[in-house]
Structure 1
Amino acid sequence: MITRQAIISATDSPPATPAALGFSMPAEFAAHDACWMLWPQRPDNWRYGAKPAQAAFVAVARAIAESETVFVGVNDDQYENARHQLPAHIRVVELSSNDAWMRDVGPTFLTHPDGRLALVDWEFNAWGGLNGGLYFPWDKDRRIRSKIAEMLGAERFIAPLVMEGGAIHVDGEGTLITTEECLLNPNRNPKLSKAELERLLGDYLGVTRVIWLPRGCYLDETDGHVDNLCCFVAPGEVALTWTDDTSDPQHAISRQALNILEAARDAKGRRLTVHKLPMPGPLTIAESEASGVDRLSSSRPRKPGDRMAGSYVNFYIGNSAVVMPRLDPAHDDTARAILESLFTSRRVIAVDAREILLGGGNIHCITQQQPARRVPGHTT
């Protein structure tokens, strides 16, 4: 017997996707209204109760705030401490989290030609869930996107896809870069094929071309996030982490990525120009740095001698400034000069970022841009 409810269910069309409604993800180098960050505090990831990391986060927030409004989300028990350390013009809001990686636990913002702002709420499982994930639990992280949507009064699209913001970069003109190591990892979306993933990325971000790189940076604990390896710096132009040392495992990864990028065409049919950024180090964790981290079974251990996935590609593009990590005196100045040549209309600000790298990521990983709302009839 067919019930009326069965007839309704059978005839109901699925909800329209963001792309079908005209939304898309702008490039990071497009105009922003704000930047979102979170406050570090967990002692099993950040040494010495996260005090050195907090100082590094303050420096990043201060640098970005020269360019745009900065919001820092803080757990209640750290609110007064964060408010005391952060400059008055940086907005501190109570926004509970399990850790401080806003790029991955926060929303991916979308804009519409009519001026509306929306966001994508990806499923988050702490970079692999119980199969290689970096900590447990991640319940507070999963609520961050809905809370920000409420704060901004923005429409929220819930995506049927486990993903993190650091896994993607877009040019704002239909092209997306990602890695197979991350998105095709069985600890993310084991039932989805590459073609199905491309369709979902198109549906939720408005992209029409996906460029797949095989792997991310060597020993990147996020399973190879692209934002540590390669990023768009302009339409048709990308920056790629690079080493000429053929004995270093990173060389083969970067060489393979370079070959793919130079052979690819973007959504507009352009060939890509690839700018090489030198790899810092290699950098490893010192005994003194590892000894200050609490050892818990629910999080990733930090051991002396462990190599870190340091990269100058992990920078943030603000409205009038590019904030880059300072990681290695042997390469900092060269990397800065390259970025200054790529962003001639922006000031490049280098911030000491080793403390952030010790936690597993860097400046791009701890930030999330909120794009400027498009104004109908105006161009930027």
Structure 2
Amino acid sequence: MNGYLSGNPKIDGYSMPAEYDLHDGTLMIWPTRPGSWGKNPTEAQKAFCSIFKEIIKSEKLYILVAQKDMENARAFIKENVPEFEKINIIEMDSDDSWARDVGPTFVRNENGDIRGIDWEFNAWGGEYDGLYSSWDKDDKIASEFCSVLNVNKYDAHPFVLEGGSIHSDGEGTIMVTESCLLSKGRNPGLSKSEIEEKLKEYLGAEKVLWLPCGIYNDETNEHVDNVCAFIAPGEVVLAWTDNKDDPQYEMSLRDYEYLETVTDARNRRLKIHKLPIPDNPVCCNKEDIDNYIFEEGEDEREVGERLAASYVNFYFTNTEVLFPAFGGDNKESDERAVNILSGICKNRTVIPIDARAILLGGGNIHCITQQIPADISNMRRKVICFE
């Protein structure tokens, strides 16, 4: 299956489910890029395997691996994941491992049929401010993975979008940030209202919420999935700090003030849960920098550079919330954030994952995962997801 569907997903009766809705599976990509994971990617690969182990407890897992890396990847995963036989390893080339941004966004109709959206991917800004100079392999992944699953797909090219730049409540509301979707490297020829119409058409949405900002120093032009997430219909968690000297304070305050004034697609006021960022900035050290090998045209890091650490970059599986923990001098803030999220997401177990090695790549747990919705009836979904 290589062809694309004609038509409009919204008119065809398809919309984007919430991430906390039931999954059939999750897509991930094996990390090997030296400019993201280092010439020695062992720590990142161990972190990925920690996530693999949790996902396969309750849903399918698909891992894309380049042919040249297949033998080593299979051996490493088999050594580090006890139930290795549950994993579906697929040979497919990529430029990096950000499955959220390069994989298809899945939409579903009332009968449970799943289709994929293939957005244009340009490495978070293309020639204007993209993070690497070649991204052709990544741009093919959405289409190729839909073909692997035998899922019909829509071609959204030339509309540039990454999966990390959108959140859905599954009930007609999409949440984004202005800093990302209005950036000059995405769709400079489209107005804000035109971009909003594209989102509604492809995601089956009725309303788009435009947060002003994301997380400080987020190189994706501040993806929404690092700053704010739906955790139930009418409820969000927002990255927060009470430290007025932190550059994140004004950014989160602007988002909070915006969220207080808006309603969702069903005219509900939002319940906003504040989820504090790590007490201490997570920064690159000399050992981290010495491990990177950057290609020409690739965004580089420096010793002391602050990384975009946020606890909002978690991922829902069917039974758990996979939660980024940073350790070191942030152990107390890790524990505090776990306790806060555990009190909010009472129908899932919050599982901390040592995620500093993932953060060094430029994102976190949500950025490296992409959910594949389950094909079940609407009533059954609601009983399981929100009870």
Whole-angstrom CA distance in 2 between matches of 1:379 and 1:64? 19
TM-aligned CA deviation for residue 379 of structure 1: 5.0
Q: Secondary structure at the match of 2:39?
A: helix
**1:113-151 CA distance string (max 9 Å, x none):** 122110100000000011110112111101111111111
Structure 2 counterpart of 1:292: 291
1:242 paired with 2:233, answer no
User: How is 1:24-43 mapped onto 2 (pairs within 5 angstroms)?
Assistant: 24-43=15-34
Partner of 1:329: helix, strand, or coil? helix
Amino acid at match of 1:20: I
Q: How many residues align?
A: 367
- Counterpart residue identity of residue 125, structure 2: G
Distance 1:101 1:133 in 2: 14
Distance 1:217 1:21 in 2: 35
Given that 2:341 and 2:350 are in contact with CA atoms closer than 8 Å, whether structure 1 keeps it comes out as yes
The answer to which of 326-335 and 222-231 deviates more is 326-335
Q: Which residue of 2 aligns with 1:8?
A: none
Paired with 1:217 and 1:96, the residues of 2 have a C-alpha distance of 30
Q: 2:149 aligns with which of 144, 148, 152?
A: 152
Aligned residue runs from structure 1 range 117-196, under 5 A? 117-160=114-157, 161-196=159-194
2:47 to 48, 56, 62: 56
CA contact (8 A) 2:324 2:364 kept: yes
| Bigger mean CA offset, 213-222 vs 45-54 | 45-54
Contact 1:321 1:347 in 2 (8 A): yes
Q: With structure 2 as the length reference, what TM-score do the two structures score?
A: 0.92
Cα distance in 1, alignment partners of residues 163 and 144 from structure 2: 17
Cα distance in 2 for partners of 1:212, 1:140 equals: 30
Deviation at 1:374, TM superposition (A): 3.1
Structure 1 letter corresponding to 2:323: M
CA distance in 2, matches of 1:377, 1:26: 14
Question: Would you say the 8 A contact 2:29–2:65 is kept in 1?
Answer: yes
Q: Tell me the distance in 1 between the aligned counterparts of 2:99 and 2:234.
A: 27
> Aligned-pair distance for 1:296?
2.6
Secondary structure of the corresponding residue to residue 251 of structure 2: helix
**Which of 106, 111, 123 does residue 108 from structure 2 map onto?**
111
- What is the 5 A alignment of 1:232-271? 232-271=230-269
Question: Which of 45, 60, 65 is the matching residue for 1:69?
Answer: 60
Q: Is the 8 A contact 2:21 2:381 kept in 1?
A: no
Alignment check: 8 A CA contact 2:213 2:251 kept: yes
Q: Unpaired segments of 5 or more residues in structure 1?
A: 1-13
Q: Which amino acid aligns with 2:217?
A: L
CA deviations on 1:172-229 (whole Å, 9 max, x unpaired) are: 0001110111111111000111111111111000111111011111010000100000
2:353 to 333, 351, 354: 351
Q: Residue type matched to 1:336 in 2?
A: V
Matched, 1:217 2:208: no
The C-alpha deviation readout for 1:70-97, integer Å capped at 9, x for no partner, is 1111111111222122231222111210
Greater per-residue helix proportion: 2
| Cross-structure match for 1:99 | 96
Alignment-mate amino acid for residue 303 of structure 1? E
| Code of the aligned partner of 2:28 | M
- CA distance in 1: counterparts of 2:10 and 2:239, whole angstroms: 31
Question: Which amino acid in structure 2 is aligned with residue 238 of structure 1?
Answer: V
User: Using a 3 Å threshold, how does the CA distance of structure 1 residues 329 and 196 change in structure 2: closer, same or farther?
Assistant: same
> What does residue 374 of structure 1 align with?
376
| Residue equivalent to 2:334 | 332
Distance 1:23 1:335 in 2: 35
Structure 1 pair 278–376 and aligned structure 2 pair: CA distance change class (3 A)? closer
Percent of aligned positions that are identical: 46
**2-structure distance, mates of 1:255, 1:181:** 15
Q: Match for residue 6 of structure 1?
A: none
Is the Cα contact below 8 Å between 1:216 and 1:225 reproduced in 2? yes
Separation in structure 1 between the aligned mates of residue 300 and residue 380 of structure 2, nearest angstrom:
50
CA contact (8 A) 1:82 1:92 kept: no
Give the whole-Å Cα distance in 2 for the aligned partners of 1:162 and 1:265. 27
Residue matched to 1:198: 196
Q: Show structure 2 runs of 5+ residues with no match.
A: 383-387
Q: Whole-Å Cα distance in 2 between the matches of residues 101 and 311 of structure 1?
A: 17
- Structure 2 counterpart SS, 1:283: coil
Q: From the superposition, tell whether residues 379 and 225 of structure 1 become closer, same or farther in structure 2 (CA, over 3 Å).
A: closer
User: TM-score normalized by structure 1?
Assistant: 0.94
**Aligned-pair CA distance for 1:33:** 0.2
Q: Is the 8 A contact 1:45 1:299 kept in 2?
A: no
C-alpha distance in 1, partners of 2:291/2:320? 33
Once the two structures are TM-superposed, the CA of residue 155 in structure 1 deviates from its matched residue by 1.0
Q: CA RMSD in A?
A: 1.4
What residue identity is the alignment partner of 1:359?
G
Q: Is 2:229–2:312's contact at 8 Å kept on the other side of the alignment?
A: yes
1:62 shift after superposition:
1.2
Aligned partner letter, 1:244: D
Amino acid at match of 1:279: I
Q: Evaluate the alpha carbon distance shift between residue 268 and residue 337 of structure 1 in structure 2; reply closer, same or farther with a 3 A threshold.
A: same
